[in-house]
Amino acid sequence: MDLIKSVINTLASPTILFTLIIVTFFFIFPLNDWFYRWNKRLKLDSFWTNRGGIKMFIILLVFFAFGLFDENFRLIVLKPDNVPIVGLIFLVAFFTWLSMKQAVDNDVHIENNENVNEYSDPDDKVLTWPDLVYIELIALVLCTVLLIVWSIGLQAPLEEPANPTLSPNPAKAPWYFLGLQEMLVYFDPWIAGVLFPSLMIVGLMAIPYLDTNKKGVGYYSFKQRMMAVSLYMFGWLVLWVLLIIIGTFLRGPNWNFFGPFEYWDLHKLQPLTNINLSEYVYIIWFSTGMPDNILLREIWGILLILGYFLILPPLFAKTWLKNLYNRLGNFRYSVFIILILFALSMPIKMYLRWMVNLKYIVAIPEYFFNI
């Protein structure tokens, strides 16, 4: 029992958890043909069958049932704040499974030159009233009942009146913002709080203009829009939902990491001494002092950032994104790749923080500019 718990605790440490998920992710949601072949070979698409779904559900259920016997786990999971997140885990898993199941199903149909499941002949229509309105009415009634039961059953997690000189420990954002709060750990407030959220919205709005693939309209399909689905799922499941889950269950006092079965020790000591890139360069590698001129001091980081955004896109266009580049054209490709690079900067920065304790690549606190 304790062994299992300590194994899970170790697995939940951010470095291991994130690495595991990133490595397996693109085999489960293949990004290109190469991954797709492996996906088939490893029979990973068996997730998206009825059996696979039931198995996943049982595993999740057993995990939570098992966890509830542990006091620390119970304290976190049953906190009224966190109950919806448990629901969210189940719901996200279910809807991912549901859509992927239909997509994989259709892929088989398409391969056999059959009609997709959503195919309907134009004469076959249903009426808004009563077919749709009845369903809506039932949904409405059920939701109301659920909300009433919920609000009676779970006490609202109210706290003492706000006090500007006393932040609760840990101070957590509302659950839907925990992904943003997690980003704030690795980035300057301007970037994680303003730039990234706006880019996310702009990026989501840009999808219909960037995605020129005409297939897969009106029906579920995975193979016909492999890259689109895979990339989107990465952004959604890993860079948003996973961060919410981490923020809810794995972040404790002083914003330290805690395993799901770990006691939230106020005095847990995690050595986190962080160093800026300029300090690495001038103090550790060159062992000269820091230069006084800000530009000279930060030039390495600035070059690195510029290189990341200016050199990588054409490089990719010439090498393994050649097909995509030809299909999208110059402008679309540029927008697409810049958005992707921004999204990738998140895990990159996380790893840099975990591995080499890098605080900021460009650090100009004098002008509130840090990357």
Partner 1 sequence: MDDQKHLEHEQNKPEDAERSTENPEEMKQSEENSTEMKIAEKKEIEPKKPEVPKKKLEKGPTKKRASIGKGSILVEPIKRRSFFSWLTLAWVAFTAATGTFFGMMLRFMFPNVLFEPKQTFKAGYPDDYTIGEVTTSLKEKYGVWIIRDTEHIYALSVVCTHLGCTPNWLQNERKFKCPCHGSGFRKSGINFEGPAPRPLERYKIVLADDGQILIDKTKKFAYEKGQWSDSESYLVV
> Cα(87)–Cα(153) distance, rounded to whole angstroms?
15
One symbol per residue from 338 to 367: x for binding partner 1 (CB under 8 A), - otherwise; what is it? ---------------------xx--x-xx-
Task: Please list every residue from 278 through 307 that binds partner 1, using CB under 8 A.
Answer: none
Task: Please list every residue from 170 through 189 that binds partner 1, using CB under 8 A.
Answer: 170-171, 181, 184-189
Binding-site member from 122, 153, 164, 208 for partner 1 (CB under 8 A): 164
For partner 1 (CB under 8 A), the number of binding residues is: 37
Closest CA to 244 of 91, 351, 23, 360: 91
Report the run of H or E that residue 320 belongs to, with start and end.
Answer: none
Binding-site member from 72, 224, 248, 370 for partner 1 (CB under 8 A): 370
Report the run of H or E that residue 364 belongs to, with start and end.
Answer: strand 363-364
Q: Which is nearer to partner 1, 96 or 370 (CB)?
A: 370
Binding to partner 1 by residue 272, rule CB under 8 A? yes
Q: Which is nearer to partner 1, 84 or 193 (CB)?
A: 193
Contact 332, 210 (CB under 8 A): yes
Binding to partner 1 by residue 207, rule CB under 8 A? no
Binding to partner 1 by residue 273, rule CB under 8 A? yes
One symbol per residue from 74 to 113: x for binding partner 1 (CB under 8 A), - otherwise; what is it? ----------------------------------------
The torsion angles phi and psi of 275, rounded to 5 degrees, stand at: -130, 140
**Sign of torsion, CA 247 252 257 258?**
negative
Name the CA dihedral angle for 25, 27, 28, 30, rounded to a multiple of 10 degrees.
Answer: 100
> Cα(220)–Cα(50) distance, rounded to whole angstroms?
17
How near is the Cβ of 91 to partner 1 at its closest, in Å? 28
Query: Which residues on adjacent β-strands are paired with residue 370?
Result: 363
Binding-site member from 130, 307, 314, 329 for partner 1 (CB under 8 A): 130
Q: Which is nearer to partner 1, 52 or 170 (CB)?
A: 170
- Can you list the alpha helix ranges (DSSP code H) found in 81-195? 83-111, 133-153, 178-186, 189
Cis peptide before 14 (omega within 30 of 0): no
How near is the Cβ of 196 to partner 1 at its closest, in Å? 14
Residue numbers of the site for partner 1 (CB under 8 A)? Answer: 127, 130-131, 163-171, 181, 184-189, 193, 253-256, 267, 269, 271-274, 359-360, 363, 365-366, 368, 370
